Structure 1
Amino acid sequence: MTDAPRSREQRRADTLALLTTPAIDVWMSTSSIDEDGTAAPYLVPLSLAWLENRVVIAVEERSRTARNLINSGRARLALGPTRDVVIIDAELERALPVQQAPAEIVEGYAGQADWDPRGDDGYLYLVLRPIRIQAWREADEIKGRTLMRDGRWL
């Protein structure tokens, strides 16, 4: 540990800077229940766009990620390395076929994610509303790591 713990305000600024980074990727975890009743977690890396305080990802409509998220309505996302992590718990707000999405999502996603799914068939934009956001670097930042609770910045 070389730096002093960041204030909540600094962590929020750092988190927003990370979320708006061009071509940023995120690990997204979803889950489902198998036929035998056991939990089936699923983790995948995806491109992310942060648009109007929402996480937007694009996935194939038939993907396990899309199915899990549409069925459960919840996901957990992680950005950054383990010693400077941002964790987001989010709820699915809407799923939009790429060809029917409004221009602000289409252009915003393509601009930040550095990828445009309009050229590929069968893709959806999944718009996620953050419920809780946590950020910390080291053990000295564990206290106060929650930056958003119940969808509201603290």
Structure 2
Amino acid sequence: MSDVVRTRAQRKADTLARLAAPVVDAWVATDGPYLVPLTVAWHEDRIVLATDRESPTARSLIATGRARVGLGPTRDVIMIDTVLDRWLPVSEAPGIGEAYAGQNDWDPRTAGPSYIFLILRPDRVQAWREVDEIRGRTLMRDGAWLI
């Protein structure tokens, strides 16, 4: 157990800081089942994924409209249930492309015409480090921060 249990406000601040950090790698789960590692960007309160339009992850996410994004090690977890806001070819999203490339170590706009951005709206966010933070781990519900 950790020495200091974070408040919900601190967990929210830590979550937003991690999402905005350079090169955020996450596990993305979609129906299928598919669980893949992807680099994400945080842009205008949305999670942005970049992948090939024909990948199982993209196909599943477009079909179901939902994904779960997991960040961090097992003792500093952020779980984000998301809803697909929209998707578009990387060539048709200059602002999103700039934001994604600016946060990460590659630019998907150079990956070819089959790459798309998947824009995800957080619906539920949970964050905890160890068992002493399980209580109060839900920071967002139904798209609204609880803090």
> Taking structure 1 as the reference length, what is the TM-score of the superposition?
0.92
Structure label with greater radius of gyration: 1
1:3-152 pair list within 5 angstroms: 3-31=3-31, 40-101=32-93, 103-121=94-112, 122-152=114-144
Q: Secondary structure at the match of 1:144?
A: coil
RMSD: 0.8
- Count matched residues: 145
Cα distance, 1:77 vs. partner?
Answer: 0.6
Unaligned ranges ≥5, structure 1: 32-39
Unaligned ranges ≥5, structure 2: none
Any conservation in 1 of the 2:90–2:117 contact (CA below 8 Å)? Answer: yes
> Taking structure 2 as the reference length, what is the TM-score of the superposition?
0.96
Poorly superposed stretches of 4+, deviation over 3 Å: none
Per-residue deviation, residues 78-104 of structure 1 (Å, max 9, x unmatched): 000000000000000000101111x22
Any conservation in 1 of the 2:28–2:38 contact (CA below 8 Å)? Answer: yes
Identity within the alignment, %: 61
Cα distance, 1:124 vs. partner?
Answer: 0.2
